[in-house]
Amino acid sequence: MQPLREIHAPIGFALIKVDLSHGSEVYATVITENHAGIVRAFQATSPVIVDYTPPDVDKVAVSVEVMEVNITGDLELREDVTVTWLATDETSGINYCTCAIGTSNYIR
């Protein structure tokens, strides 16, 4: 990892090529100075962790419950689908999970 390096980019971003290993912590510091010589610094409160591995998903279970309901005076069937799973990521943690329910397999 490189030490803090000065970049002159008034557009708000710059690309720096670095080689980072799995599990590395990356910190960001932004220092700005206006034409009056007033300086302000910003440091991210926590690092971003470099993670080259996908999360683990385990214990996926699906259940479907069919119920007869009488809401409008007519007997209707209602299906409740419940999906549960356990997702873990030892390196960077889980940001979010999504679930798709359909009549065929779906993998993005």
Q: How far apart are CA 98 and CA 75, in angstroms?
A: 33
The model carries a pTM of 0.57
Mean of pLDDT values over 97-107:
80
> Do residues 98 and 108 lie in contact, with contact meaning Cβ atoms separated by under 8 Å?
no
How much is the pLDDT for 32?
84
pLDDT tens for 44-92 read 899 989 999 999 999 999 999 998 888 777 778 888 899 999 999 999 8
Report how far Cα 35 is from the mean position of its chain's Cα atoms: 38
Identify the helix (H) or strand (E) that includes residue 40. strand 39-43
